[in-house]
């Protein structure tokens, strides 16, 4: 039987939904599975959890983490603070403050000090890419690549749980002057009116799916109502399918959210969820599978992305399993990222050569339908740089690279080469191949 949109909305949740319960630094030791861990491990979590944002919930704790495999369980590593995320010096500094019963204020001072050493805004996010309207900076938006505007709705700047590797973390830790935010759907519409080159608006955060349906509706309807013939697609960058799939099944306004998706599609625009899945485990629960079916029945499409992360998903088997399962569930694998140069990169980071090896080994064992995924790629200052692979040209070992997105659109898909470097983890570590002074996209020689 064919599902119609409305049938989709009346599908009964297959999983009885628990009530959302958030855990953070103040209450995580009440989680029975955590209370059963060693005091040493819990102390480490307290120390690191005071520097990086930490929040998890009962779905992650009860449905996703395999507690018999903690501390190695990938979903545990993904959401709980890990000792390895701080270097010894930073760790000892914070550990001492806590051992000595430091006040909230003392803890905060040390935490801010450590955070500032962790490159909280990589790829020049604060300085560049902030668009202007009538000479005024639009701080809740970024416009880096011609056809897509990033929009940070102010109500969407948190998540159902936090990923320990997240580069957005400066937005969550109360350093408010670093926070992007916008309440202004009107500004967004005005900006698009002046920029007909923009076809896509990517709602991002945090996680826009943390917003109530009426907040989402305010933004979406403003876009649908406006006269923007070039504007085509609402994208929503979200981790809700991974961290709280009930958002689309049994939350009080779940049906309203799905109706809103239908409304977007009925208006002739497209809607794409850019869903973050870091591990195949996140696709296994009845709740997530039902959420996916309900979203797909509205006509919205789901594309997937994840960084490749040491200690979480640094194996080809994990990726091929994840992509195959995504295709089976009707999702479209889209991006594999290399983790960027911020936060706990030493702990999660992976060399470019290893990332490519994982991609290379994983992609050859999945159907062509899963080979839509591009990567590994780095979202660096000049653009999204795709590591095509390693090869040899006239006896010189090199990386072949290309831009998937570029500050200058003409850079996109131009192959270029860097000297092979086994230890390189980011674009900055790479030097041009063949004795060239600089890469083609660099204006001045490096110094």
The residues of the shown chain that bind ligand SF4, judged by CB under 6 A, are: 159, 162-163, 166, 168, 205-207, 239, 276
- Choose among ligand PLP, ligand SF4, none what residue 166 binds, the Cβ cut-off being 5 to 8 Å by kind: ligand SF4
Is there binding between residue 379 and ligand PLP (CB under 6 A)? yes
Supply the minimum distance, in Å, between the C-beta of residue 68 and ligand SF4: 25
Site residues for ligand PLP, window 145-204 (CB under 6 A)? Answer: 145, 148, 150, 202
Supply the minimum distance, in Å, between the C-beta of residue 202 and ligand PLP: 6
Rg for the chain (alpha carbons), in Å? 22
Is there binding between residue 384 and ligand PLP (CB under 6 A)? yes
Supply the minimum distance, in Å, between the C-beta of residue 418 and ligand PLP: 21
Spatial neighbors of 82 by CB under 8 A, at least 6 apart, are 44, 48, 71, 164, 311, 344, 347
147 vs 190, beta carbon nearer ligand PLP: 147
Spatial neighbors of 367 by CB under 8 A, at least 6 apart, are 324, 327
Is there binding between residue 404 and ligand PLP (CB under 6 A)? yes
- Choose among ligand SF4, ligand PLP, none what residue 168 binds, the Cβ cut-off being 5 to 8 Å by kind: ligand SF4
For 45, half-sphere exposure in the C-beta direction (CA atoms, 13 angstrom radius) is 26
- Choose among ligand SF4, ligand PLP, none what residue 281 binds, the Cβ cut-off being 5 to 8 Å by kind: none
Cis bond leading into 376, ω under 30°?
yes
Helix (H, G, I), strand (E, B) or coil at 376: strand
- Choose among ligand PLP, ligand SF4, none what residue 379 binds, the Cβ cut-off being 5 to 8 Å by kind: ligand PLP
Site string for ligand PLP, 105-144 (x = CB under 6 A): -------------------------------------x-x
CA dihedral 316, 317, 320, 322 (to 10 degrees): -110
Supply the minimum distance, in Å, between the C-beta of residue 90 and ligand SF4: 20
**What are the helix (H) ranges across 202-253?**
213-225, 240-243
128 vs 440, beta carbon nearer ligand PLP: 128
Write out the DSSP string of 39-64: HHHHHHHHHHHTTS--EEEHHIIIII
Spatial neighbors of 64 by CB under 8 A, at least 6 apart, are 75, 281, 282, 285
Is there binding between residue 405 and ligand PLP (CB under 6 A)? yes
- Choose among ligand PLP, ligand SF4, none what residue 206 binds, the Cβ cut-off being 5 to 8 Å by kind: ligand SF4
- Choose among ligand SF4, ligand PLP, none what residue 384 binds, the Cβ cut-off being 5 to 8 Å by kind: ligand PLP
145 vs 356, beta carbon nearer ligand PLP: 145
120 vs 206, beta carbon nearer ligand SF4: 206
For 359, half-sphere exposure in the C-beta direction (CA atoms, 13 angstrom radius) is 29
Sort residue 278 into left (φ over 0), alpha (ψ -120 to 50) or beta.
alpha
**Interior angle at CA 392, CA 390 and CA 394, nearest 5:** 160
CA dist 2 → 7, 8, 301, 328 (Å): 9, 10, 17, 18
Spatial neighbors of 127 by CB under 8 A, at least 6 apart, are none
Which spans of this chain sit near ligand PLP (rule: CB under 6 A)? 142, 144-145, 148, 150, 202, 379, 384, 404-405
């Amino acid at each position: 039987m064919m599902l119609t949109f409305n049938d989709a909305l009346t599908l009964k949740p297959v999983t009885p939904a628990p009530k959302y319960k958030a855990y953070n630094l103040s209450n995580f030791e009440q989680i029975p599975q955590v209370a059963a861990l060693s005091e040493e491990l819990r102390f480490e979590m307290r120390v690191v959890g005071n520097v990086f944002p930490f929040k998890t919930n009962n779905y992650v704790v009860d449905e996703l983490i395999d507690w018999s495999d903690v501390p190695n369980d990938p979903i545990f590593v993904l959401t709980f603070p890990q000792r390895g995320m701080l270097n010894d010096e930073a760790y000892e500094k914070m550990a001492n403050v806590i051992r000595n019963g430091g006040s909230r204020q003392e803890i905060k001072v040390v935490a801010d000090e450590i955070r500032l050493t962790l490159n909280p805004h990589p790829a020049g996010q604060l300085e560049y890419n902030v668009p202007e309207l009538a000479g005024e900076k639009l701080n809740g938006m970024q416009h880096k690549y011609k056809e897509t505007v990033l929009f940070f709705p102010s109500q969407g700047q948190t998540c159902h749980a936090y990923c320990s590797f997240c580069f957005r973390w400066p937005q969550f830790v109360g350093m408010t002057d670093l926070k992007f935010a916008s309440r202004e759907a009107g500004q967004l519409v005005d900006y698009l009116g002046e920029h007909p080159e923009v076809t896509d608006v990517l709602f991002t955060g945090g996680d826009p799916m943390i917003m109530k349906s009426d907040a989402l509706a305010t933004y979406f309807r403003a876009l649908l109502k406006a006269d923007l013939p070039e504007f085509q697609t609402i994208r929503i960058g979200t981790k809700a399918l991974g961290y709280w799939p009930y958002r689309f099944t049994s939350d009080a306004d779940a049906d309203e959210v799905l109706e809103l998706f239908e409304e977007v599609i009925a208006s002739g625009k497209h809607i794409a969820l850019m869903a973050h899945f870091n591990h195949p485990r996140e696709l296994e629960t009845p709740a997530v599978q039902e959420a996916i079916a309900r979203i797909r029945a509205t006509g919205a499409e789901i594309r997937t992305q994840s960084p490749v992360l040491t200690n979480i998903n640094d194996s080809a088997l994990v990726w091929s399993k994840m992509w195959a399962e995504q295709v089976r569930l009707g999702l479209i694998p889209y991006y594999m990222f290399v983790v960027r140069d911020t936060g706990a990169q030493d702990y999660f980071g992976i060399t470019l050569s290893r990332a490519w090896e994982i991609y290379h080994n994983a992609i050859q064992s999945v159907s062509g339908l899963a080979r839509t995924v591009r990567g590994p790629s780095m979202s660096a200052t000049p653009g999204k740089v795709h590591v095509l692979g390693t090869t040899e040209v006239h006896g010189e070992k090199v990386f072949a690279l290309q831009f998937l997105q570029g500050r200058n659109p003409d850079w996109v898909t131009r192959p270029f080469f860097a000297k092979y470097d086994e230890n390189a983890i980011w674009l900055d570590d790479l030097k041009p191949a063949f004795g060239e002074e600089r890469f083609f996209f660099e204006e001045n020689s490096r110094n």
